[in-house]
Amino acid sequence: MRPHSRNLNRLFLGKRIAIAALILSANAIAAEGQTATPAEPARQSLLAPEPLPSFGDVAVSPILTVFNAPHPAAVEAFDPAAQIRLRPADGEAGPTPALALTSTASGAPAASSTVAETPSPPPVPGRSEGAPPDPVPTAIAAALVRLIAHDGLNPLGDGDWRGARAAIGAFYADRRFAPVWVDESGLTIAGRAVLTQLERAKDDGLNLSAFALPRHFEGRLSPIDLAEAETTIAEAVVAYAEQASGSRITPTRVSRLVTAQPSVVDPGVALAETASAPDPAQRLADFNPPQRGYRALREELRRLTDVRSGHGQKQPAVDALDDPPLVDNDAEAPHSLLKTARGRLKGLVRNAAYAASVEVAESRRRAAILANMEMWRWEPRDMGERRIEVNVPDFTVAMLDGDSIVHSARVVVGKPDTPTPIFSNVMRYVLINPSWEVPDSIIRKEMLPRLASDPRYLARRGYEVKTVGGRLVVRQPPGEDNALGRIAFMFPNEHAVYLHDTPSQSLFDSDMRALSHGCVRVEDPLRLAELVLGWPEERINAAIGGPERTVFLPRPVPIHIEYFTEFVDEYGELQERPDVYGLAQKVANILSSVRQD
């Protein structure tokens, strides 16, 4: 079976299981208001469908008839006063019974739809006269069946909205379909709190425009209206939490070298934790990244929004075509009026062009900030108190303790055609006097063409060459000319990249430092070695020279190779850097394409 077919089978199976679970749960709720009569102790509830409907039959199953039966006509179909009488089936002889539903609610005998040839036997009692099932859980169960069965726009972007809908159904099934956010009189305390945070979604660059959030209620809610409001809020809560934790964009969709993994929250966990939190609004907000860098960009987004809406900053004045001044000389009046009008018209045109350019610049900056906020969602929620961060577009590396920068230095990163990958890892050891085993890609693209014209090219440069299993292996021994310099910082990873020294110190004087084959070359690596090893400078210098030496860190240090073109520096100023790999623009384009409005 092809993988695509297996996925489709899993999807339909999952839907059928979820709907079946909701139906069985709703039947259990309905059965609470019923008891079996002594005359027929084993009789099955009229609400229990037999057999269980298939996915294609859900719309006409008996349970859905009850789900959608708040109106008198539908309730009458299951009137407790109705009696089930046995009579022979039309055109048949013998004792085989058929069911005929007649009502005695009016007190008068009901006319049979057919004429029976033999007297009817005594009536068999139907359901007991107990209390009817609570209509609110029944209505919520019906709304959830419709939600699970309906495929519409996916508000999660790359996230699994089908699975999220099933998780919402499971959450309410566990609660026996009791509401959380809404009751008969309107929003509950939890509902008001969470709705306030949902309406702030744009502050974090989130998009909930797919949901018609309830805002005003008049009078008591019917079970159907209550169920609709309840499930809509539940959907929006899950969409907010999933988007906030990074569901909209799978990083490898942007580039195969972006292997950072966002910690997207489980939808059932998000709904349960928000519903049970002492402060549901704060719990919902906490699904956004907690890092200072993210919070600073959110504040910049708010400032841009305030300026755009005219709050917090005075807008530039625009000249208007006021009434022209009066002139004494009637002969010169027409000329003066025309000249004044032309001058003011030119001013209006200039102001309009300026305003348009400002709006374009603000829209571009806003899109860039939103893209960088989204890339923050790719970072681990716990990045480590003491950690190393490399920002590729800024060409810098920083050692941080909390939010304080302990050390910062310039770096050289990969060229656009050999980019530095974006991911997180843990630095575990340092190589002092490292040797360099040349990657196969460099041998193939750079060394073999030179060997063709100069067979002694590698030997003259001090490289050691051998063949292992038919593969050419090139190694550069330790030394001052080694491409890795005097020290390398190792964190084993799938990309085979790391931080290291370089003999080409002049590269750090360039403003655009995307010049390497992918590894990160560090200025002043000995200072970074002091910090990660905990060694004094004298001990580091004494170890330089001689054979390669591996030194494990006393405490492994988390390292994060990041890509932020927009960030707020330590002085509170918003900085912008070139999009050297075009990743920020790709993220902005994807965010624009997944909008729901």
pLDDT at 51 over 60: no
- Per-residue pLDDT, averaged over 463-476, amounts to 88
**Residues 510-547 pLDDT 10s:** 999 999 999 999 999 999 999 999 999 999 999 999 89
Q: Give buried/exposed letters for 254-275 (b at 16+ CB in 10 A, else e).
A: bbebbbbebebbbbbebbbbbb
The alpha-helical segments, DSSP class H, found in 178-250 are 189-198, 223-244
pLDDT band at 103 (very low <50, low <70, confident <90, very high): very low
Kindly state the helix (H) or strand (E) to which residue 425 belongs, with its residue range: strand 423-432
Q: What percent of the chain has pLDDT over 90?
A: 58
Position 253 scores a pLDDT of 95
CA dist., res. 288 & res. 204, Å (int): 8
Contact predicate 517/415, CB 8 Å: yes
Coil/strand/helix, residue 152? coil
- 418: exposed, middle or buried (C-beta count within 10 Å: 0-12, 13-18, 19+)? middle
Contact predicate 420/497, CB 8 Å: yes
∠ Cα 361 367 369 (to 5°): 100
Position 283 scores a pLDDT of 98
Give me the chain's average pLDDT, please: 80
Position 550 scores a pLDDT of 97
- Per-residue pLDDT, averaged over 90-104, amounts to 40
Contact predicate 421/258, CB 8 Å: yes
- Min mean pLDDT across 48-62, 357-371, 437-451, 457-471 is at 48-62
Q: Which of 375, 428, 424 is nearest to 560 (CA)?
A: 424
pLDDT band at 79 (very low <50, low <70, confident <90, very high): very low
- Per-residue pLDDT, averaged over 94-118, amounts to 42
Position 306 scores a pLDDT of 82
- The better pLDDT of the pair 316, 415 is held by 415
For 53, list phi and psi in degrees, rounded to 5: -65, 145
**Residues 374-402 pLDDT 10s:** 999 999 999 999 999 999 999 999 999 99
pLDDT band at 35 (very low <50, low <70, confident <90, very high): very low
**Residues 477-490 pLDDT 10s:** 999 889 999 999 99
- Per-residue pLDDT, averaged over 64-78, amounts to 37
pLDDT at 259 over 90: yes
- Per-residue pLDDT, averaged over 225-234, amounts to 96
pLDDT band at 179 (very low <50, low <70, confident <90, very high): very high
- Per-residue pLDDT, averaged over 189-213, amounts to 96
Q: Which one of 3.50.50.60, 2.40.50.140, 2.60.40.10, 2.40.440.10 gives the CATH number of domain 386-581?
A: 2.40.440.10
Position 310 scores a pLDDT of 63
Position 22 scores a pLDDT of 59
Max mean pLDDT among 43-47, 351-355, 440-444 falls in 440-444
pTM for this predicted structure: 0.74
pLDDT at 106 over 50: no
